[in-house]
Amino acid sequence: MGTELSAATEGAIDRSLLSAFVELVAVRPGVQVADVGCGPGRVAAFLARHGLGVVGVDVSTALLELARLAHPGIAFEEGRLDDLPISDSSLAGAICWYSIIYTPPAHLAAVFTELSRVLEPGGYLLLAFQAGNGEAIHRSDVHGSGLPLTSYRHGVNDIALRLAADNFEVRATTERLPELDHETTPQAFVFARRV
């Protein structure tokens, strides 16, 4: 996917939602946000270019090293979605850009509880994921690496209900049809606000 956002990896609607997130959280100086499940830092770099203080968090040391090399001015930390190295109520916003796709539905509550912990009241959350009904997709050779990987296609309504149970008010949801070469399923997006 590379280390920068591009029209090859994000459609116009996707990029507009990232811009909307920036508008929602950039209401005062010193705003701090997180790119949770940041991978090689594509979204973190976008947020930093728009003047936000940002930390990227990922479980993969290899992807974090790539992110640090590509974006030396951004802080990147190792951590899991359900155990973030971030202080309580310290973020004005967080983005999980296709990172919850590796979380089984049964474990989403722990992730949303952790996101609720690190967001300040009124903080915004943007989720992006492949839409489905919670089904697991098993691949034996991911991106030619020879390594297996399981991902999950979550339902928008299910995600909204789970967020509501963890102190979030869902503000907007949308799905779009697959339009990019690497997409085979509808893409889903959820904006929520920490109560």
- In-domain check, residue 111: yes
Q: What is the pLDDT of residue 112?
A: 98
The per-residue pLDDT for range 137-188, each reduced to its tens digit, is 998 887 677 888 899 999 999 999 999 999 999 999 999 978 877 777 998 9
Per-residue pLDDT of 76-93, as tens digits, reads 999 999 999 999 999 999
Is residue 2 situated within a structural domain? Answer: no
Give residue 73's domain range: 12-194
Residue 4 inside a domain? The answer is: no
With a cut of 70, say whether residue 96 has pLDDT above it: yes
- 81 is a domain residue: yes
What is the pLDDT, as a whole number, of residue 1? 67
Q: Give domain status of residue 6, yes or no.
A: no
Handedness of CA 72, 189, 78, 138 (dihedral sign): negative
In the chain, the number of structural domains is 1
Per-residue pLDDT at 27 exceeds 70: no
Residue 151 pLDDT: 93
In a domain, 7, yes or no: no
Q: Is residue 82 part of a domain?
A: yes
Over the stretch 112-147, which tens digit does the pLDDT of each residue have?
Answer: 999 999 999 999 999 999 999 999 999 888 767 788
pLDDT of residue 106: 95
pLDDT at 11: 86
Looking up residue 147, the CATH number of its domain turns out to be 3.40.50.150
